[in-house]
Structure 1
Amino acid sequence: MISRVFRAIILGPPGSGKGTISSRIVKDFKLTHLSSGDLLRAQVRGKTDAGLKASEYIERGGLVPDQLMVDLILNELKGLSSVDWLLDGFPRTVEQAKALADEVGVDSVINLKGKDDVTGELLTQRDDDKPETVLARLRAYQNLTSPVTDFYRDLDLLKEFTGTESDKIWPEVQKYLSTVVPPKS
């Protein structure tokens, strides 16, 4: 029996627990984790053509253009055509989501909406998160990435999880994925 390849995306605002949940998904379901941020940083460090182009935008504090990010991610995904993967940090815009959909089938999009249900505050903050940095990242997420959830909702691929802690969200994500990730022989 030939196993079907499973492809998933994880979305969520800064502080929603994506890193924690991603690491658990990778461990429990044996998916290859592809972080757009890690990939971009590796390209910049390696001084590849894409990395040099991206660093021009990053150094000015701008966003890397959609097409450059799409090319970078699709190039990486070509090498993973027979591997189950979890894409983290991409797509961030509807244009990126459409470009990905045109080239690669996606089975599921996990959206983490983890915030404190009482205060509305982020669950955790990284050590380097200053209030103004978090606010800027949340605004950027809301303006650019939030419409991506609507795009995937319209395709009936979006599964949303809300909770106050990663340890409370994880069992629900794990239960869901156990029903959609094909078993490997």
Structure 2
Amino acid sequence: MRLLLFGPPGAGKGTQARKLVDRYDLTQIATGNIIRAAMKNETPVGLEAKSYVEKGELVPDAVVRKLAEGAIADEDYDDFILDGYPRTLQQATWLTTFLTEHDAPLNAVLSLEVPDEEIVDRLSKRRVHAETGENYHLDVNPPPDEVDDDLIIQRPDDKPETVRNRLQVYRDQTEPLKTYYKERDLLVPVNGTGTPSDVHARITEAVEAHT
């Protein structure tokens, strides 16, 4: 099974990807994670990526492609879920070509659909433990009483005005992928509102109808 999961920031991609990993015994391929792992392990591509990260620059497409190629190849081109990649039409076109060359086309592209205002509400109420990195939500998963309030922080990119800017970038750069994959009969829109369990049930139904 070869899946791609995408949606706006705050749609719950990471949470749902992990649930799919557990349910279908897949490997989650998230480019942010593999970039960090390659840098930590100081692989040749990781060192190349590090040279950009240390300067505060975006890692170029060509470098991300090398990492994505390696991660997919490590899974023998099967039983994976791509989380957060591709993000642009150029990346999607490359991915299609790459997977076709290895006779490993995607089975489905799952698009989590969540209204912008719910995204803003979700992310603006997210809090992070400054030392452990654990995520909380003021409404549905508040920090335990015993945790020092001074250690609970809001990430700068979770402030409402920043979230709206991030959503606009998503609309401009990533949302066109819906048309791209719809034209290839791969797009499966999934209602991303409700509890994580509700959303997972919808995704599972969608996956089993398209694989």
TM-score by length of 2: 0.73
CA shift at 1:141, angstroms? 1.9
Contact 1:16 1:122 in 2 (8 A): no
What is the match of residue 93 of structure 2? 98
1:14, CA displacement in angstroms?
Answer: 0.7
Q: How does 1:146-165 map to 2 (within 5 A)?
A: 146-165=175-194
Counterpart of 2:135 in structure 1 is none
Give the distance between the partners of 2:40 and 2:158, measured in 1 at CA. 25
Residue 13 of structure 1 deviates from its aligned partner by 0.8
Structure 1 contact 16–115 (Cα < 8 Å) conserved: no
Contact residue 108 and residue 207 of structure 2 kept, 8 A: no
> Hey, what does 1:12 align to over in structure 2?
7
Kindly indicate whether the alpha-carbon contact (under 8 Å) linking 1:11 and 1:110 is maintained by their aligned counterparts in 2: yes
Structure 1 residue aligned with 2:75: 80
Output the CA distance in 2 between the equivalents of 1:130 and 1:85. Answer: 29
Which residue does the alignment assign to 1:22?
Answer: 17
Instruction: Give the superposition deviation at 1:130.
Output: 2.8
- AA aligned to 2:163 is V
Give the residue type in structure 2 aligned to 1:155.
Answer: R
Structure 2 equivalent of residue 62 of structure 1: 57
User: Closer, same or farther in 2 for the Cα pair 1:62/1:140, shift >3 Å?
Assistant: farther
Partner of 2:133: none
Where structure 1 has 5 or more consecutive residues not aligned to the other structure, the ranges are 1-5
Q: 1:82 & 1:72 partners in 2: Cα distance?
A: 14
Alpha-carbon distance between aligned partners in 2 of 1:143 and 1:154, rounded to the nearest angstrom: 19
The counterpart of 1:167, out of the listed 172, 197, 200, is 197
Q: Spell out, residue by residue over 1:31-64, the C-alpha distance to the aligned partner (whole angstroms, 9 max, x if none).
A: 1111111101111222222222223333344322
- In 2, the alpha carbon distance for the partners of 1:144 and 1:30 equals 31
Aligned partner of residue 16 in structure 1, secondary structure: coil
Runs of 4+ in 1 over 4 A off after TM superposition: none
Aligned length: 174
Pairwise CA RMSD: 2.1
Q: Distance in 1 between matches of 2:191 and 2:61?
A: 28
Q: Which has the larger radius of gyration?
A: 2
Instruction: Report which structure shows greater RCO (CA 8 Å, sep ≥6).
Output: 1
1:123 deviates by 5.9
Instruction: Give the alignment's TM-score, normalised by structure 1.
Output: 0.82
Q: Deviations over 1:106-126 (max 9, x none)?
A: 11110111237xx44446324
Distance in 2 between residues matched to 1:151 and 1:55, nearest whole Å: 31
> Who is 1:145 aligned against?
174
